[in-house]
Amino acid sequence: MKKIHVVDTTLRDGSHAIGHSFSVEDVTKIAQGLDASGVELIEISHGDGINGSSYNYGFMKSSEMELLKAASKVIRNAKLTVLLLPGIGTVEDLKYVHEHCGVTAVRVATHVSEADISKQHIEAAKELGMTAVGFLMLAHMSTPSEIAEQAKLMESYGADYINIADSAGHLLPENVSEIIKTVCSAVSIPVGFHAHNNLALAMGNTLAAIEAGATYVDGTLCGLGAGAGNTQLEVLAGVLDLKGLDSGLDFYGLMDVAKDVVTPIMKRPQIIDEDSLMVGYAGVYSSFFLHVKRAAEKFQLESRDILVELGKRKMVGGQEDMIIDVAYQLSQKK
Amino acid sequence: MKKIHVVDTTLRDGSHAIGHSFSVEDVTKIAQGLDASGVELIEISHGDGINGSSYNYGFMKSSEMELLKAASKVIRNAKLTVLLLPGIGTVEDLKYVHEHCGVTAVRVATHVSEADISKQHIEAAKELGMTAVGFLMLAHMSTPSEIAEQAKLMESYGADYINIADSAGHLLPENVSEIIKTVCSAVSIPVGFHAHNNLALAMGNTLAAIEAGATYVDGTLCGLGAGAGNTQLEVLAGVLDLKGLDSGLDFYGLMDVAKDVVTPIMKRPQIIDEDSLMVGYAGVYSSFFLHVKRAAEKFQLESRDILVELGKRKMVGGQEDMIIDVAYQLSQKK
């Protein structure tokens, strides 16, 4: 029976969906439930990775250090994992959480074309004896062969596996399949996949990734996550079971944590509304929204038309100041 | 460019999700929006098909006749469609709505192994000059070749296309693919697919059906429907566009109706909770729930264990009285 390794990111990607307000008590209960239910990696960080708590990305209610320490007390089998975006998190942060908070794995995340900035962090993690994952975000912005080249870089730095992230929820199953196959052929380490549900395809794409050779997949309880959320973990446990794949997950156990602990914390249901649908359709960063809405008002345009244009131009985080130019150009065309 | 025909069932399957409480005003606005956005068939009926309004299946707030007449006044291009389950709806009902309510198409729905009871209704529809669709429910309960035999029966009665329904939301993409391919090879009329989202696979399965040869697909605005709901129509419009398929749908128009008209009517968000997940996982009728919960209390069992056992025994609607036997047997094993 094919083994599928399941990574939970409720306490990291899910953090976006509740304004980074997880308490020590929430984290203790959720981490304990995930660990008892057979999840292999439990990722806990600010939504934008370790040290993300800031004016720019939103402040956390409780510090990452507190949350990680609380989780480390209750985790018996899983690897306590952080996400680290080079530039936001540093090698020093990584050393600190490894030494003081029981963190044993790190996923080093870069834009899909910028694997080279992960070198020092992956190498540092391996020197510390940690599991190190190369995590490539916004995969829809590169071709499969370009992604494979970036994955090879991360492999050369010592990554234990490569995780491909459809951060905007823009990919279709056939795209996922082609990317995963190409990356699997290029590297000799395992390959994983992180889905978003903006086009209602989180589960479909996760299965397409597995069919194409991925052996690590991400999920979150109740699908809690940025935009339309992630692959719903407790549903994934049932689906993998029906497919005859060995995930080692306790289906009922995960359902119980989802219902009893996560559902009461949620600020809104994890549905696909116009905003998250348009992010997925256009293939843009969800952090563009506020800027786009302001620009739309200023130039009497529809937000969605601006989003589509930004997607066409493959705008990435950091280019927010160009949104107003795009809106101006669209208004001139009108 | 491959043409995909899109059928909306917000005002039929979606009726389950709001306790059959659509008003004439709701139906007018929704039908108008769907028609203006290029939907080809607009299905309006009680959730259990025409004449379903009853103590057994739940009473409707407004009569089907009123709702159909209201829709018929505003529809310009779409075919006004009813669902008909032989035994609940009759040939007389069909004649009535055709003559008095502007109904031009009917989907005659039977259990997946009982196509033979659709004969008189499909034939009557064709005699009336209507479009007639053979609709096979709970497709996960038969093998692909058995389903193909039933589809051939419906074709022989005069059906214009065959619609395969994953009523419990239990199928995986590979199952859908195999069923649709087998049915497409067996009949010379088009084949369609109706998904439910209990395993978060409504969209993934709909795309698998299209890849396998289906040219008609069902959706509902906001995913409104029984259990975890159906394929979310406005999202489907975006996805078909990204796939380069011609659906004739106005993506923005559908988003607007979803947000402005359907969202305010909804009684609860269309998420996957434990109940709908267990229906999908076990592959049983959602109407079993109340009986199962009672039996679980009586024998101090978990509802989900009873559901799984009912699924294994392939229980269908009408066998509700056997739930107590199953629960008794499970309690003896314990």
Least confident of A70-79, A92-101, A139-148, B302-311: B302-311
Is residue B19 within 8 Å of B267, Cβ to Cβ? yes
Task: Provide the mean pLDDT of chain B.
Answer: 95
pLDDT value of residue A54: 86
A284 neighbors A307 (Cβ within 8 angstroms) = yes
Question: Considering only CB atoms, which residues of chain B are within 8 Å of chain A?
Answer: 170, 172-173, 197, 199-205, 207-208, 222-223, 231-232, 234-236, 238-239, 241-243, 251-252, 255, 258-259, 269-274, 277, 280-281, 302, 304
- Looking at the partner chain, which of B205, B259, B302 has a beta carbon nearest the beta carbon of A274? B259
**B167 annotated ligand binder:** yes
3-state class percentages of chain B: helix first, strand second, coil last, to nearest 5? 50, 15, 35
Write out chain A residues lying below 8 Å of B217, CB-based. Answer: none
The pair of structure tokens assigned to A163 is: 């995780």
Instruction: Write out the two tokens for B245.
Output: 């398929």
Could B242 and A202 be called an inter-chain contact, meaning their C-beta atoms sit closer than 8 Å?
A: no
Element (H, E) at B279: helix B274-282
Which residues does A147 contact at the CB level (< 8 Å), separation at least 6? A112, A136, A139, A164, A179, A182, A183
- Give pLDDT, residue A23: 96
A14 band by pLDDT with thresholds 50, 70 and 90? very high
Q: Does pLDDT of B84 surpass 90?
A: yes
Rounded mean pLDDT, B136-161? 98
Cross-chain Cβ contact A235/B202 below 8 Å = no
Report residue B219's pLDDT band, with 50, 70 and 90 as the boundaries: very high
Look up tokens 């108008």; give the residue.
Answer: B32
End-to-end CA distance of chain A: 58
For residue B56, with 0-12 CB atoms within 10 Å meaning exposed, 13-18 middle and 19 or more buried, which class applies?
exposed
Closest approach of chain A CAs to the CA of B177, in angstroms? 13
Q: Please name each of the domains of chain A with its CATH number.
A: 5-265 (3.20.20.70), 284-333 (1.10.8.60)
Give the pLDDT of residue B77. 97
* Portion of chain B with pLDDT greater than 70, in percent: 100
Helical spans, DSSP H, in chain A? 13-17, 24-36, 64-74, 91-101, 119-127, 144-157, 173-186, 202-212, 233-242, 251-257, 263-265, 274-282, 289-298, 303-312, 323-333
Lowest average pLDDT, out of B65-74, B229-238, B306-315, goes to: B306-315
Of the given ranges (A13-17, A45-49, A93-97, A314-318), which has the lowest mean pLDDT? A314-318
The structure tokens listed for B259 are 């947000």
CA-based nearest residue to A22, from A71, A57, A56:
A71
Region A284-309 average pLDDT: 88
Q: What is the mean pLDDT of chain A?
A: 95
* Contact: A242, B199; criterion CB under 8 Å: yes
* Residue showing tokens 């129509």: B233
Of A2-16, A50-64, A186-200, A236-250, which gets the smallest average pLDDT? A50-64
Number of helices followed by number of strands (H, E) in chain A: 15, 8
Q: Does the pLDDT of residue A53 top 90, yes or no?
A: no
What is residue A56's predicted lDDT score, i.e. its pLDDT?
77
Q: How far is Cα of residue B75 from the mean position of the Cα atoms in its chain? A: 21
Instruction: Please choose, from the candidates B105, B159, B153, the residue with its C-alpha nearest in 3D space to the C-alpha of residue B128.
Output: B105
Report how far residue A214's alpha carbon sits from residue A184's, in angstroms, rounded to the nearest whole number: 8
pLDDT higher than threshold 80 for residue A185: yes
Q: Do B280 and A207 touch (CB under 8 A)?
A: no
CB A242 within 8 A of CB B201: no
Average pLDDT over residues A104-129: 98
Predicted pLDDT at A291? 85
CA distances from residue A312 to A34, A308, B180, B257 in whole angstroms, order as listed: 39, 6, 35, 26
Mean of pLDDT values over A7-36: 96
* pLDDT-based confidence at residue B57 (cuts at 50, 70, 90): confident
Q: What is the pLDDT of residues A126-169, one digit of tens each?
A: 999 999 999 999 999 999 999 999 999 999 999 999 999 999 99
Q: Is residue B318 scored above 80 in pLDDT?
A: no
Question: Would you say residue B79 has pLDDT above 80?
Answer: yes
Is the per-residue pLDDT at B286 higher than 80? no
pLDDT at B173 over 90: yes
State the pLDDT at residue A2: 85
Mean pLDDT computed over B120-129: 98
Which sequence positions of B are flagged as catalytic?
Answer: 16
Note the pLDDT of residue B319.
78
Could you tell me how many residues make up chain B? Answer: 334
- Note the ipTM here: 0.95
Question: Is the pLDDT confidence value at B321 over 90?
Answer: no
Tokens of B89: 């709806």
Tell if the CB–CB gap between B231 and A200 is shorter than 8 Å: yes
The percentage of chain B sitting over the pLDDT mark of 90, rounded to a whole number, equals 88
Q: For residues B167-187, give the mean pLDDT.
A: 97
